[in-house]
């Protein structure tokens, strides 16, 4: 599985000691890297989770939002840039022993249904999933990123006056040009 080393005891709730409701904020500041669908990314700020957990007979309804920022590659200029991540999530955690003994088909049909051991509610996977799914497809280091020169790959943000048509001659042609010039001058 992805991201097995990401773990926080703050995301594990003991339901035996939990009251009807829990709401609060959690800050995880020791996660360093996350495995995304297309590679690894570095966390640039703590993972902030806003949570509401409600007990509902044998299941727990969890709603919340997660916020952090990751270091990702700009889709245009390929420089690494900070990308803010913000996502809402929802999940219903159902005691696995209840699933075995009762008719819970209506619960299983829920989209974000997760089984748990009846004691420890571990939100880690759901949080990681929420982060991964909210990574934007297109990342820009800035709104007006000018990207790279299509011909030579020069970063056009750093070299705003760069124009390949005028400045750049393929070194192979440069030699050819010199040869032609030499011939002409003879
Ligand atoms: Zn860029
Ligand atoms: Zn160029």
For 138-183, give the DSSP string. Answer: S--SSTT---B-TTT--BTTT-TT--HHHH---HHHHHHHHHHHHH
Q: What is the rounded average pLDDT of the residues 116-136?
A: 92
**What does the DSSP 8-state code read for residue 100?**
H
Residue 95's pLDDT is 86
* Cut 0.85: pTM above it: no
Q: What residues are neighbours of ligand 2 (ion), with CB under 5 Å?
A: 149, 151-152, 154, 164
pLDDT digits (tens, 9 = 90+) for 70-79: 999 999 999 9
Q: What is the rounded average pLDDT of the residues 60-77?
A: 96
Going by DSSP bridges, is the β-strand pair 33-36/59-73 parallel, antiparallel, or unpaired? Answer: unpaired
Distance (Å, rounded) from C-alpha 140 to C-alpha 80?
Answer: 10
CA of 153 to the centre of ligand 2 (A): 6
Distance (Å, rounded) from C-alpha 60 to C-alpha 47?
Answer: 23
Going through 1-144 in order, the beta strands assigned E by DSSP cover 12-14, 21-28, 33-36, 39-56, 59-73, 80-95, 113-116, 120-122
CA of 158 to the centre of ligand 1 (A): 10
């Amino acid at each position: 599985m992805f991201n097995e080393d990401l773990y926080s005891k703050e995301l594990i709730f003991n339901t035996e000691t939990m009251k009807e409701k829990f709401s609060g904020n959690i800050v995880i500041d020791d996660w360093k890297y996350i495995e995304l669908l297309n590679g690894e990314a570095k966390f640039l700020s703590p993972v902030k989770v806003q949570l509401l957990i409600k007990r509902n007979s044998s299941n727990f309804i969890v709603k919340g939002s997660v916020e952090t920022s990751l270091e990702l590659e700009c889709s245009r200029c390929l420089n690494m840039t900070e990308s803010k991540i913000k996502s809402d999530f929802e999940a219903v955690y159902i005691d696995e022993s209840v699933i075995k003994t009762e008719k819970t088909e209506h619960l299983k049909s829920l989209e974000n249904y997760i089984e748990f051991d009846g004691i420890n509610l571990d939100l880690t996977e759901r949080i990681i999933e929420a982060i991964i799914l909210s990574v934007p497809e297109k990342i820009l280091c800035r709104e007006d990123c000018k990207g790279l020169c299509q011909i030579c790959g020069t970063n056009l943000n750093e070299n705003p006056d760069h124009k390949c048509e005028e400045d750049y001659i393929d070194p192979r042609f440069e030699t050819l040009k010199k040869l032609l010039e030499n011939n002409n001058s003879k």
